[in-house]
Structure 1
Amino acid sequence: MPLSTSSAAPQLFYSEGSPYARICRMALRERGLMPQVREATTTLRDPAAAVLPHNPVGRVPALVLRDGTTLTETTLILGWLDEHGSEPAMLPGDAQGLAAYGRVLGLLDGIAVWNRELRRPEAERSPSVLSLEATRANRIADALERDVADGVYANIDAGSLALLAVLGYAERRHTVWKWRMNRPQLELWFIRASQRASFCETLPPLSGI
């Protein structure tokens, strides 16, 4: 369903460092919706954040529709995008595809916890949390190594975009995780998939972690 361009066009709030928002930003580009959905950056954990009048949760991504309704959470926004623009559909239509997407979301959630813990002062960090999330990330990445070898993430959909987002996050903002080690299939998949314009146009800033 096409959208008309106007000052009341839907608006996607994002933070440049958020891998969750990056999934939606890549999906906008993959579905050809960039001329019809505006992007707007916002700060986070800030009482003056631009997104707060629209989303009291204060998180991104947040998609403000023409009537003022605000959709939050990546998967809900991907569902809305699937009703607009052109192919390909983002949300898989089968259980296997949804399971693949879910595995990557689980990885991303764990990486987010790991990264937040590392951003605390060293004396306040929890060694058990750091160990748990590092173990979880490596366990999932080992499964993903097998998955990509079997062609599970060959299609451009929510699963592959989420995988691009989390590995891209590890490359630039969570470099403490050496995900490439002993995972040649996953590395090769990333090298090839990261050539897509949607990935290159949404690179997050570098971080010191």
Structure 2
Amino acid sequence: MNDLLNVSFDFQAMLVAGYFGYKISSMGLARVHRTEDFLLQVLAFAVVSKIISALSVVLLTEIPGLIEIEWVSPFITMFAGVLVGAFWRKYGETRFSKLMENRDISRDDHEASVWMSIAHSKSRFTFVQVMMRNGTTLESDFDLIPQSPPFPPLKINEDGISIYVTKIWPSDDQAEQVFEPVIDKELGIMRLRYIPRSEIEQIEWCLRKR
């Protein structure tokens, strides 16, 4: 660590930019990278950020009246790291995966699991049914959920799922379905239900392209 503190500020900024890019591109994806992969990804984002910074400085020096612009370079590098990471997260990785799939090279979307692939889908969820291991089915129709709820209508993670239940289908096929109001009119609150993954047998979704 002391060795990193003794290098030039420009090089430190380059490393920080690389880390920013890596962190933003992988945030919330539950991926575990080996040390070598982590370092190479940080280095890749750092190099791209430095190239953008160097080109920016060249362009800025062409503007009349601007002198001694080189001191801004480290800050441009760090800012570029944020932009590169965000761009790769939003556009780059998805399109690169599609390119690999279209060329029959790889069908891996680089997510940790199919569950996480669904969680990070760019589609808009409109309807979900959760089949429980006890035979009960919990349904959430997003059209019945008021606008701007205090918590998103759907959250998926490795440990389970949370939804606003709008209908309950009992385990007994002969029993009538139960409509459950999302808003408790007496208390004026919304009911959000957390369902652990261990209690889920199957999930069905309705998706709509954004």
**Shorter-chain TM-score tier:** under 0.3
Task: Select the structure that is richer in strand.
Answer: 2
User: TM-score, structure 1 length as denominator?
Assistant: 0.27
Structure number with the bigger relative contact order (C-alpha 8 A, sep ≥ 6) is 1
User: TM-score, structure 2 length as denominator?
Assistant: 0.26
For the pair shown, the structure with the greater C-alpha radius of gyration is 2
